[in-house]
Amino acid sequence: MENWKAMYEKWLESDRVSESVKNELRALGEEDIKIRFSNYMSFGTAGLRAEMGAGTAFMNTYTVAHATMGIARLICDMGEDAKKRGVVIAYDSRNNSPEFAKRCAEVLSAEGIQVYLFESLRPTPVLSFSIRELGCAAGINITASHNPKKYNGYKAYFEDGAQLSPDNAETVSKAIMSIDIFDGVPTPEEARAELIKTVGRELDEKYMEKVLAQRVNENAIRDAADGLKIVYSPLHGAGAVMVPEVLRRAGLKNLYTVDSQMAPDGNFPTVEYPNPEFPAAFEEGIKIAEKVGCDLIVATDPDADRVGVAARDKNGKFNCITGNQMGALLLDYIITANKESGKLPEDAYAVKTIVTSEMASEICSANGVKMYNVLTGFKFIGEVIKNSEESGKGTFLLGFEESYGYLKGTYARDKDAVVASLLICEMAAFYKLKNMTLSDALEALFEKYGYFKESVKNVIMDTPDGSERMANVMKALRKNPPTSLGGKKIVEFRDYSTGVVKNLATGETSSTNLPLSDVLYYVNEEGDVIVVRPSGTEPKVKIYVLTRGSSAKAAEDSAKASLDDIGAMIK
């Protein structure tokens, strides 16, 4: 936004802006004003995410209402039937989430659109499920997932239960930019209460029924119940009710909750980052696990779409199992358990993203299961499921991504920490009956398929020119692509922005056969993969390195060397 000073003054002069917000703005220095008003939050396929506060670039009731008008335009352009089918709205435990959700409902109803608003916080997968269950045209979830407490966000979903496609996201984004943030948005007083229906428990029951139906072995947890002990934490988020309820219904007797983290709290008082990817998130749970003598701790993020695990190893120490490792474990378990019962479908398939461990591909290959690789973003996993259902070909086993998101079942189109928590506990029971822990099971996978190591590095660019810097990084890498990384020659280069795959040895080209996306993908002479892409929700460039070695150390050394080399090229 070129004239940020004019936009700042517009907010100060508007009778739509409360006095408290104006006071917040008056207290800002010029640099902060520029940061808050130099642009609007970018509405991408993952929706919006930003710090909370006044200004066009931050999350507040004005920008949330503005974004919702873009959704309203999309629905209205679909016709009267879509308006009657409506939009379902959910939210998580973050500060201001209920207020933002209510504002969404007000805007949509004022435009004559039916709204279903959850009575209280819900896991993200419940929202995805509810869109399809209610037959809605779209859905909105107010959440910033696992980000620190100063953030909130806005995830937009379409009628299939998946997040908006790139085309629909672009349509919404253009609509937002054509609408005045104040004059073009209905006031709260214009809301139509008769079009806002409160929903809750009736959808929860249907959702949990679908989740429990995903058990591979319905008796595993009950059979191991006397000796199976699990510690669970929702990290102050939306999983607090549903995850324990599902586990108890599955037959888990010894469930210990981290009471200091059970109450929903957007300030996340016991963790700096409410992210189950980080070992620090398990500190409180480990204290309880040591006291009660259990081997497994499960933690879900604030909107309960991601789940992380800390498992005791053979030395008695708790180690975190990565998202890549857990995906491989779950996939292997689902295949193995189905094989043991003679129920593995001949047309079984799994789906993962291109930045997710290739161990999963090895597992599928060894068991005659088809693996689909898709772009980063669970909506692309949902797209494969949708296409499979529509064609009547293929039986879905598991979809997952390296960032701790998993889905089994076709009732939803987004990652689901509730079903993942159930399956992880079932898997732990399965191995316990074989006198194995999850750490033992993971080591067995390494011994069978090789030692895989996945590393991720985030290059933060949270400055006013962050978007430009991110674009320049990708431009520079395209202009001067690396010929070797980590001391190993690059033999294949994929540019997903053009869809071209180039064999650097022969010069032959082919197609990625995936939607165009700003992603660069390198394969070295040993089959290791290095991927670079700008984040779609945060000001950072992400680097992924996927390696395989004859030992854990060999794989780790290889990953570090490649990561160091590509990291040095990104400033």
Which positions are catalytic?
145
Dist CA 203 CA 128 (whole Å): 11
Nearest to 348, CA basis, from 411, 408, 410, 394: 394
CB atoms within 10 A of CB 254: 14
3-class SS of residue 360: helix
From the centroid of its chain, how far is CA 370?
A: 23
Read off φ and ψ for residue 131, nearest 5 degrees. Answer: -55, -45
Residues contacting residue 209 through CB under 8 Å, at least 6 positions apart? none
Count CB atoms within 10 A of the CB of residue 186: 18
CB neighbour list of residue 22: distance below 8 Å, 6 or more residues apart: 11, 12
Question: What tokens were used for 277?
Answer: 């990817």
Token readout for 76 is 């209205």
Give CA–CA dist 58/79, Å, rounded. Answer: 31
Angle between helices 323-340 and 438-449 (to 10 degrees): 90
Strand partners, 508: none
Q: Of 385, 411, 418, which Cα lies nearest the Cα of 399?
A: 385
Question: What one-character-per-residue DSSP string does 108-169 give?
Answer: HHHTT--EEEESS---HHHHHHHHHHHT-SEEEEE--TTS-TTEEEEEEEETTSSBPPHHHH
Ramachandran area for residue 510 (φ above 0: left; ψ -120 to 50: alpha; else beta): beta
The secondary structure of 239-296 as a DSSP string is TTTHHHHHHHHTT--EEEE-GGGTS--TT-TT-SS--TTSGGGGHHHHHHHHHHT-SE
> Which amino acid is residue 229, in one-letter code?
K
CB 521 within 8 A of CB 482: no
Measured between alpha carbons, how far is 74 from 493 in angstroms, rounded to an integer? 37
- Distance between the two ends of the chain, CA-based, in angstroms? 24
